[in-house]
Amino acid sequence: MDGILQVFQNELICSICRNYFIDPITIECGHSFCRPCFYLSLPNRSVLAHCSECQKAIQQRDFHTNVCLKQMVLTVRQASLWHFLHSKDNRCRIHMEAKQIFCEDQRSLLCLHCSTSQEHEAHRHCSVEEAAEQHREKLLKTMRSLWEKCCENDRKLNVETVTICSWEIYVISTQEAISAKYDQLPLFLPLEEHQHLVRLQREGTDIFNQLKASETNMAHKRELLRGMYTELKEMCRKPDVELLLDFGDILHRSEAVCVHMPQPVKAELTAVTIPGMLARFNLFKDISESFYYIIHP
């Protein structure tokens, strides 16, 4: 019987973290993983991923929670929690009863008598089992939102990196196009052309530096977001009682990490047209027309 139970428990363990599943998902090939473990193992969303178990390619990107696996893990956790709550180590020293009530205000375990005492009667209470699942679901909800921020930041980081790689070529080609336009002017303006190209080069360098700074900020934000996501994952996998007692301000810190998300630089050159070009053409046109009428009265 113990052997069958062991086999059953092994089926509830993620092959990546070697712990019970957290928000389990089942991918196309049939293998299951913790959602956070699977997400963190992906190189990025633009690269074809492979299952770490069978190496089959993974085309899918949106995954639903495997409700059956999640319920089985919950059953195992509840059984473990029941044994702890009814152990000698979890008895109230005053009333010698099991501490099965969680006090939200003081983040402590209480027996029934203590929860109705004058000290705690005005506090928010619920069963340890209910409190643990509520807190774990809050963590999972926060993790899903945080991962969306991670993906959003990664997409913007990729855009910034690609822009940086092509920016120098773009500036050079724009300079060549500007020179070609000056060559088409009826007036020879070497000094103005030089000043225009210098101004364009200076603007291109400024934008390049902005792009590099933006890329650095996004890379730093990526580390912060993933670090917070990993911390939430580790909190989520803690045993129920430990999770409740250690919960602290982790949700507030998670919200703080998502504030001031870096935005891509608006990489556009403004010095791409020749100043006064239309006016010069109109002036030349007027002079040409006047000269025409002089020689052709």
How much is the mean pLDDT over the chain?
85
- In words, the CATH class of domain 1-85 is alpha beta
% pLDDT > 90, the chain:
54
Q: What is the structure's pLDDT at 19? A: 92
Name the CATH topology of 89-123: Double Stranded RNA Binding Domain (3.30.160)
Higher pLDDT among residues 281 and 198, named by residue? 198
Q: Is the pLDDT of residue 287 over 60?
A: no
Contact criterion met (CB below 8 Å) for 27 and 53: no
pLDDT, average across residues 3-14: 76
Contact criterion met (CB below 8 Å) for 81 and 128: yes
With vertex at residue 66, the alpha carbon angle to CA 34 and CA 30, rounded to the nearest 5 degrees, is 80
Helical (H) or strand (E) element with 221? helix 190-236
Q: What is the structure's pLDDT at 271? A: 72
Q: What is the pLDDT of residues 59-110, one digit of tens each?
A: 877 889 999 999 999 999 999 999 999 999 999 988 899 999 999 888 889 9
Q: Is the pLDDT of residue 45 over 60?
A: no
Q: What is the pLDDT of residues 231-280, one digit of tens each?
A: 999 999 999 999 999 999 999 999 999 999 999 998 888 876 655 444 44
Q: Is the pLDDT of residue 289 over 70?
A: no
- Helical pair 67-85 and 128-184, crossing angle rounded to 10 deg: 140
Higher pLDDT among residues 252 and 112, named by residue? 252
DSSP string, 122-160: TS-EEEHHHHHHHHHHHHHHHHHHHHHHHHHHHHHHHHH
How far is the first Cα of the chain from the last one, in angstroms, to the nearest whole number? 116
Q: What is the pLDDT of residues 150-183, one digit of tens each?
A: 999 999 999 999 999 998 898 888 888 888 888 8
